[in-house]
Structure 1
């Protein structure tokens, strides 16, 4: 009887209350892109060894022989992505440019030099593609340059570097699941007459490579 009375009371009382004629429905969730994991060989270290000051120009910048490093990118599923890099020694490069990165400062605060990271499409393999072409964007992916076989350099900020399966395509990167590449790191050292050579000068370049999902 208590249950019946309570139910009846609710029915009788309902017309006396101010009823709401609307109710909110919230639908929540998130869709995340397939995750991609980049890795560099050798722990990401490119060692140019010991360089004699006698092998460097006193008045001109000296370009050292490039050194290779392997890159692999593995995704959970085919994914459209591009790459960019952040200079962790920002402000120390000899040239202020989005494709050149700093080597740090010597003991007197002089800029040691710069380095760049080169991508050669002929040294890149991706999934079952017979040939990988490089495409890049200087507008954070709003537009893409025609894909080609030219050596390109990874850039910072709004500069993106991607990979295509079609020569001349301006559609941007294609979905890729697994990619491997041999990159070349090119170092340029400042003229020795602008450096403090009274002690060892240690290269201190460091950059963070980022996968950008498109």
Structure 2
């Protein structure tokens, strides 16, 4: 028994010897840039989508109910041509009844049931920027390391993927530098199935998301 103990201790001593000779410090570097460029976003109607009062009789019992598409106007004004992307944060995180980065929650009812979800999409055909003849959408799911081929298809804004715009069709180079952009946002709302909601009192639809500009 002692033999095994001595042999084990000897091996440990040999293995730790190189570590004692290694450097006892490591460098941490903080990098970045402070840019004089800045962009300000604005939304029509103060960014409020008012669905009004919805009767429970208008909801599907077994499946979610998709409401009529709503739109908001988005304007982005920069103090110079700027390469930027858009993301959105769910201010009701955890309340969307489908787990995806493009769906945002509508809060909970009085018994903690999820009320539903909403999504926000951009349509490049409804987007104008500066004096450019046409704008195309592009997206990166890799933090800007690679970009989806730019095209005219509508694209949902996500909480992790970068959404940008370019004036070059079929490009994989990412967003172009833009100073002023205007677009119509499509807001799609889907309420939870009636059977999954507590209707002993009014159910408040309480969705909220924050649109962010990230500079490249």
Same-fold call, TM > 0.5?
yes
Write the distance in 1 (CA, Å) between the matches of 2:87 and 2:80: 21
Looking at structure 2, the residues matched to 35 and 121 of structure 1 have their Cα atoms a distance apart, in angstroms, of 22
User: Which residue does the alignment assign to 1:197?
Assistant: 199
Q: C-alpha separation between the residues in 2 aligned to 1:31 and 1:108?
A: 47
In the TM superposition, residue 103 of structure 1 has moved relative to its aligned partner by 0.3
Partner of 1:58: 61
Runs of 4+ displaced beyond 6 Å: none
What is the DSSP-based 3-state SS (H/G/I as helix, E as strand, rest coil) of the residue aligned with 1:42? helix
State how far apart, in whole Å, the 1-side matches of 2:143 and 2:114 are: 29
Partner residue of 1:76 out of 74, 79, 98: 79
TM-aligned CA distance change 1:160 to 1:33, over 3 Å? farther
- CA distances 1:18-61 after superposition (whole Å, capped 9, x unpaired): xxxxxxxxxxxx74141000111111101111111111100011
Matches within 5 A, 1:27-38: 31-38=34-41
Q: Please state whether the residue corresponding to 1:54 is helix, strand or coil.
A: helix
The equivalences for 1:6-17 within 5 A come to none
TM-score (norm 2): 0.83
**Aligned equivalents of 1:143, 1:55: Cα separation in 2:** 44
Q: What is the rounded CA distance, in whole Å, between the counterparts of 1:112 and 1:131 in structure 2?
A: 38
Aligned residues: 184
Name the counterpart of 1:14. none
Q: For residue 114 of structure 1, what is the aligned residue in structure 2?
A: 117
What is aligned with 1:132?
A: 135
| Structure whose alpha-carbon radius of gyration is higher | 1
Q: Give the distance between the partners of 1:49 and 1:31, measured in 2 at CA.
A: 43
User: Structure 1 length normalisation: TM-score?
Assistant: 0.84
